[in-house]
Structures are given as structure tokens and as C-alpha cells.
């Protein structure tokens, strides 16, 4: 499989990370967002991240100077219809995603691969309105935050996905240093299904907002459990709003299975706009 050009739609934290990772593979990358200025700000952040990697000695300045011109910000109508791969990373709204995929189906070349970075919605359902030919080239590519560092990529087949394409993509990602695995098209796939208990039981352990209890749970999971981050630290990094949305989606998909039930503390944090690092305040303060 040869991938030379990628379009990333959605330029939040995850979209930026995905775009930067592809850029660092020396690919041409186009970034798209419904808010053009937000996409431009995302481009600037990626430039800053690349410069920081040079300062830390993890990238060569000559390479970064080659990367930067390869990253462009576009409106959706302006993207290159000949791009090889399109990765959707917009907010978790099923109908918004499906509407976007219908547009991309008409816009892109016949052999372009269209993928969703959804963390919970079924791939078969997201692609059911696409043309028959496109459904064969539609799948899930679920990256993990930060996408530039986290190696895992879940490759999810829909019922109509051509398995040879997902197999080739797995090989391609592995050759680029990622660890790609094939997943069933089931709610939460692998990681987000297993992780619901990592977050849910931790929330139930503290019950209400108590910073000392929160710190204790994170400390135990890091120092005893061997996790790089505790559950509350990780929710702050991902975004408590995103975490709640995924939890609600998995809960509904499993027909209100109690073990996946969202916790009221998550909702309280979101209602108070305490989303985590991106708002400078979540379970912890980042002022």
C-alpha cells in the first residue's frame, strides 16, 4: 500500500496529533475544520510542537523545515480529491459524521480510503449510506492521545469493508512504527471497552469531588498498578467531556449494561466546564 497524501478532518487535540504524526512520516497533510481559524491555530500548534522536538534533539531542523510546507489548512470544498486517505476526527456526533462521509463519498477519487477515528460508534452504521464501492474502502482507524506518541491504532472493519485493505493498512502502520491491531466492530472496540471500568470504578471509588482521594487513586494506579497515568490524570488529558461522551455511547450501545454506566461526577465536571487540560481545570488545576 502506498499512501502519499492524507486529509485530516477535525483539528482538535486528537486531529492535530493525527495530522502531526502523518506529517512526520513525510506525507502531504491537509487539515480541515468547520472553524477555519481554529484549524489555522492547530497548524501553528503543530509547528510549535515540531520546533520543540528539534530543541529536545528528537527531530532534525532540516527535516522539520521539509515537514512544515507539507501541512496545509483547507476548507472542506478545497481538499485534494486525489488524496489517498481521509481520516475523520470530528466531535462524537453520529449524524454529523454520517453527513460528512456522504459528502466525501462524492468528492474523493474512487480508490481513496475513508476512515473514522470514532471511539465508540459502529463502523458499519457510520458507512451504511455510502455507495457500495465506497463501503468496501471505509473503515475505522482509532488513534490514541497523544497520537504522535501512543503507538496503538485500532483498525476496525465494517461488514462491507474489504479485508485486504485493512490488512494492508495494518502492515503499513506497523512499518511506520505504530502497533496496529484488527478489531471487531463492537461498541468501544477493544481499548475503550476495557477502559470504561478503569475510569468507572475509579469514579465510584471517590464518589464525589475530593482532590485528596483523586490523588490517592492516581498514585496507586501509577505506583502499584504500573500505569503511566492514573485514571483522573488521563481523563484530564483526554478531556472529561470526551470521556463522558464515549462512556454514554458505550453504555447505550450495550443496552444500559450497569458496568458501563456513566458516573454523576463526570456529568458535574462537564456541566461546570471543567474539561481538563484544555480548559486549564479538570480534576486537577493547570493554571
pLDDT tens sequence across 115-149: 999 988 999 999 999 999 999 999 999 999 889 99
SS3 of 285, please?
A: strand
Mean pLDDT in residue range 252-259: 92
Instruction: Give the mean pLDDT of the chain.
Output: 96
Say whether 119 is catalytic.
Answer: yes
Say whether pLDDT at 276 is over 90. yes
The verdict on 65 and 179 lying in the same domain is: yes
Question: Of all helices (H) and strands (E), which one includes residue 116?
Answer: strand 113-116
Instruction: State how many domains the chain has.
Output: 2
Residue 84 half-sphere exposure toward CB, CA atoms < 13 A: 12
Same domain, 29 and 79: yes
Domain limit, last residue, from 162, 183, 204: 183
Lowest mean pLDDT among 23-32, 84-93, 245-254: 245-254
The question of whether 154 is a catalytic residue gets the answer yes
Q: Domain check: are 12 and 150 in the same one? A: yes
Q: Which of 158, 183, 208 is the last residue of a domain?
A: 183
89 and 139 inside one domain: yes
pLDDT of residue 184: 87
Provide the pLDDT for residue 136: 98
Of 157, 183, 209, the one marking the end of a domain is 183
Task: Supply the range of the domain harboring residue 122.
Answer: 5-183
30, 117, 120, 142: which one is catalytic?
142
Q: What's the CATH code of the domain at 266?
A: 1.10.1040.50
Active-site entry in 5, 117, 145, 192: 192
pLDDT(105) > 90:
yes
Tell me, yes or no, whether 79 lies in a domain: yes
Tell me, yes or no, if 142 is annotated catalytic. yes
User: Among the options 117, 119, 166, 249, which is catalytic?
Assistant: 119
Tell whether the model's pLDDT for residue 234 goes beyond 90: yes
What is the rounded average pLDDT of the residues 156-174?
Answer: 97
Please name every residue paired with 113 in a beta bridge, in sequence order, or none if there are none. 85
Give pLDDT tens digits for 167-219: 999 999 999 999 999 998 988 899 989 999 999 999 999 999 999 999 999 99
* 75 and 104 share one domain: yes
Number of H helices, E strands in the chain: 12, 8
pLDDT above 70 coverage of the chain, percent: 100
Q: Which of 154, 166, 245, 263 is catalytic?
A: 154
Average pLDDT over residues 62-89: 98
Look up 192 and say whether it is catalytic. Answer: yes
Domain contains 92: yes
Task: Check if the beta carbon of residue 88 is closer than 8 Å to that of residue 116.
Answer: yes
Amino acid at each position: 500500500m502506498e499512501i502519499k497524501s492524507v486529509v485530516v478532518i477535525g483539528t482538535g487535540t486528537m486531529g492535530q496529533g493525527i495530522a502531526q504524526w502523518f506529517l512526520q512520516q513525510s506525507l502531504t497533510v491537509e487539515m480541515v475544520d468547520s472553524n477555519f481559524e481554529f484549524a489555522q491555530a492547530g497548524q501553528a500548534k503543530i509547528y510549535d510542537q515540531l520546533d520543540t522536538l528539534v530543541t529536545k534533539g528528537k527531530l532534525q531542523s532540516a527535516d522539520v523545515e521539509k515537514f512544515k510546507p507539507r501541512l496545509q489548512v483547507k476548507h472542506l470544498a478545497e481538499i485534494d480529491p486525489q488524496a489517498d486517505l481521509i481520516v475523520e476526527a470530528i466531535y462524537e456526533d453520529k449524524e454529523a459524521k454520517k453527513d460528512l462521509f456522504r459528502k466525501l463519498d462524492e468528492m474523493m477519487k474512487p480508490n481513496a480510503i475513508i476512515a473514522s477515528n470514532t471511539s465508540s460508534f459502529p463502523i458499519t452504521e457510520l458507512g451504511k449510506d455510502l455507495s457500495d464501492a465506497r463501503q468496501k474502502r471505509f473503515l475505522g482507524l482509532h488513534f490514541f492521545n497523544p497520537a504522535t506518541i501512543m503507538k496503538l491504532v485500532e483498525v476496525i472493519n465494517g461488514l462491507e469493508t474489504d479485508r485486504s485493505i485493512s490488512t494492508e493498512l495494518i502492515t503499513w502502520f506497523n512499518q511506520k512504527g505504530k502497533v496496529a491491531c484488527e478489531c471487531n466492530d463492537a461498541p468501544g472496540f477493544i481499548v475503550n471497552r476495557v477502559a470504561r471500568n478503569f475510569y468507572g470504578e475509579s469514579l465510584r471509588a471517590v464518589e464525589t469531588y475530593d482532590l485528596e482521594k483523586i490523588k490517592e487513586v492516581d498514585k496507586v494506579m501509577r505506583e502499584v498498578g504500573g500505569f503511566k497515568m492514573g485514571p483522573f490524570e488521563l481523563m484530564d488529558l483526554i478531556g472529561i467531556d470526551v470521556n463522558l461522551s464515549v462512556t454514554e455511547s458505550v453504555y447505550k450501545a450495550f443496552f444500559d449494561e450497569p458496568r458501563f454506566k456513566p458516573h454523576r461526577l463526570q456529568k458535574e465536571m462537564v456541566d461546570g466546564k471543567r474539561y481538563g487540560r484544555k480548559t486549564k481545570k479538570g480534576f486537577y488545576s493547570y493554571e
